[in-house]
Chains A and B, each alone.
Chain A
């Protein structure tokens, strides 16, 4: 698919919001899915070679948004893309979050994990759910879009490791105290956090869905580079993060193989 950049807005030194117009995509995309985006906006270079996986952070009208953090070459190049540039991607890819109506839900986001959670919060709210968002980052720069998030959540709890915004500490602490009041948990963020969230949820017998990151070459299920180990009954199965994921049942992921 090809889309046109509507805006590529700097949120702070690390985070950007990229809005792309593409009717075909917005018709098909479901919450939790991702795209493989070509970060080279010229085709005369081979570097970076592979496309980058990014979660879909929002859809409005014929436009969709990505929220991304600058980590390396690909995301740096993306941040240099100008308005009206045409950008190509394969999409929509991967599994989706299970959508519920009128339930009490807790959403957890760690750092850039906010991307898919942003759209999820909006969608659940529209479906009449109670949406509590626990959003943690290292410092105040790692928690973005707070104004927008206030509108799509019932409670927004912010934590930072250094206390520069919200409560000082880990996002799992305030969540852990309230876990029993929810029907469903959703989370996206660093693997260690997702493991902790899943363990808390399992302890309270609440279903939990996590969105996992793995390095990806194809994003289409062909290369087998993105395997996540999942328990089903007595068996450990290999699932492709790009096809059967990125959203997995957090109680079934074999965390020892994911967090190394």
Chain B
């Protein structure tokens, strides 16, 4: 493997810009049997909270046209068990570990961040955008003042780890939220989380998902994500991790052109666990064939001239 894909993102040196997205890659270990996870640039693990969370009632998922709805409800083992039971095994693989985390209250966000700041992980990704739980999460991601506040408070306790804030697409103007993060000291932004959606079984007349609404992900949301990464890129200076519907190397290049310094692959991991690996290989090939010296050369190079 050559160095052409090496990407430094908020000071963290990734072997390539392809990271698997939170909630779609478990704690990483689930995929060890299926792919060589050390090939990945990094892994963003399932959203971690202060204490164990059981998640929403079933059914939690439904496929929709070129996408899927989920309302998992942020089920996770809690930060203590994550650090004890999952992290050591995950650390054996040579890839960067981003810990996605969230809280039900401002205090919980701060507490989890404080614990993770001392853990053997590479970066933190603060989820303020999960549409599937009533308390916390989305409440912080849909009010710019709350976004500023939680980012600022968390940033105050972090001494070692860069903080990336994951934004919600379920807002009218994502620029305002991106700016709030930057002003509050965030080191990076990741966008987007899932879009709020819904599906009804016409035979039973009931929602397919017990939570009624769910988060839409997959290829169906890619144009929305590309637009939002573009808007974010044009309003802040901190780096952006692009997420939403990526399934191949062309999608990655598209996200890079509108300003993504790295990307996350989510639902595609369900479609075929091999997809992120194929993307890495194909992306390297694309750069070589076109004499592009590094991935970073593509970032923000979309041509909007008329």
Cβ of A214: which chain B residues have Cβ within 8 Å of it?
Answer: 58-59
Q: Is the CB of A224 within 8 A of B60?
A: yes
Q: Is the CB of A217 within 8 A of B273?
A: no
A97 to B219, CA, bound (A): 37
The answer to whether A46 and B54 touch (CB under 8 A), given A51-B272, A217-B61, A220-B34, is: no
Cβ of A215: which chain B residues have Cβ within 8 Å of it?
Answer: 59, 61-63
A215 to B70, CA, bound (A): 11
Asked if B294 lies at the interface with its beta carbon under 8 angstroms from chain A, I say no
Cβ of A243: which chain B residues have Cβ within 8 Å of it?
Answer: 30
When C-beta atoms are compared, the residue in chain A nearest to B57 turns out to be A257
How many A-B pairs with Cβ below 8 Å?
88
Contact with A along B57-76 (1 / 0, CB 8 A): 11111110111101010010
Q: Is the CB of B23 within 8 A of A49?
A: no
Output the residue of A51, A216, A225, A243 with the most chain B CB within 10 A: A225
When C-beta atoms are compared, the residue in chain A nearest to B66 turns out to be A46
Asked if A166 lies at the interface with its beta carbon under 8 angstroms from chain B, I say no
Cβ of A90: which chain B residues have Cβ within 8 Å of it?
Answer: 34, 272-273
B132–chain A nearest beta-carbon distance, Å: 12
Chain B residues at the A interface, C-beta cutoff of 8 Å: 23-26, 30-31, 33-34, 46, 54-55, 57-63, 65-68, 70, 72, 75, 218-219, 247, 267, 269-273
Contact with B along A39-59 (1 / 0, CB 8 A): 000000011111100000000
Partner of A222, one of B30, B57, B66, B68: B30
When C-beta atoms are compared, the residue in chain B nearest to A241 turns out to be B58
When C-beta atoms are compared, the residue in chain A nearest to B25 turns out to be A222
Q: Can you pick out 16 interface pairs between chain A and chain B where the beta carbons lie within 8 Å of each other? A: A46-B66, A46-B271, A49-B67, A50-B63, A50-B271, A51-B271, A88-B272, A215-B62, A218-B270, A222-B25, A223-B270, A224-B72, A225-B60, A225-B61, A226-B61, A227-B75
Q: Is the CB of B271 within 8 A of A221?
A: no
Q: Is the CB of B30 within 8 A of A217?
A: no
For the A-B complex with A46-B247, A224-B55 known, give 5 more contacts whose Cβ atoms are closer than 8 Å: A49-B67, A50-B270, A88-B272, A216-B61, A217-B70
A193 to B247, CA, bound (A): 39
Q: Is the CB of A223 within 8 A of B61?
A: yes
Cβ of A221: which chain B residues have Cβ within 8 Å of it?
Answer: 26, 30
The answer to whether A222 and B26 touch (CB under 8 A), given A46-B66, A49-B68, A257-B58, is: yes
Partner of A49, one of B25, B26, B59, B267: B267
Output the residue of B30, B54, B63, B67 with the most chain A CB within 10 A: B63
Q: Is the CB of B31 within 8 A of A222?
A: yes
Cβ of B58: which chain A residues have Cβ within 8 Å of it?
Answer: 214, 227, 257
A236–chain B nearest beta-carbon distance, Å: 9
Cβ of B65: which chain A residues have Cβ within 8 Å of it?
Answer: 47
Q: Is the CB of A46 within 8 A of B219?
A: yes
When C-beta atoms are compared, the residue in chain A nearest to B26 turns out to be A222
Chain A residues at the B interface, C-beta cutoff of 8 Å: 38, 46-51, 88, 90, 214-227, 238, 243, 257
A218 to B23, CA, bound (A): 11
Cβ of A222: which chain B residues have Cβ within 8 Å of it?
Answer: 24-26, 30-31, 269-270
When C-beta atoms are compared, the residue in chain A nearest to B76 turns out to be A224
Output the residue of B55, B60, B267 with the most chain A CB within 10 A: B60
Cβ of A51: which chain B residues have Cβ within 8 Å of it?
Answer: 270-272
Cβ of A88: which chain B residues have Cβ within 8 Å of it?
Answer: 272
Cβ of A218: which chain B residues have Cβ within 8 Å of it?
Answer: 24, 30, 269-270
A215 to B59, CA, bound (A): 8
Q: Is the CB of A227 within 8 A of B247?
A: no
Q: Is the CB of B62 within 8 A of A224?
A: no
A241–chain B nearest beta-carbon distance, Å: 10
Q: Is the CB of B218 within 8 A of A49?
A: yes
When C-beta atoms are compared, the residue in chain B nearest to A45 turns out to be B66
Q: Is the CB of B24 within 8 A of A223?
A: yes
A226 to B75, CA, bound (A): 12
Cβ of A238: which chain B residues have Cβ within 8 Å of it?
Answer: 54-55, 75
Cβ of A257: which chain B residues have Cβ within 8 Å of it?
Answer: 57-58
The 3 closest A-B pairs by CB, nearest first: A222-B26, A225-B61, A221-B30
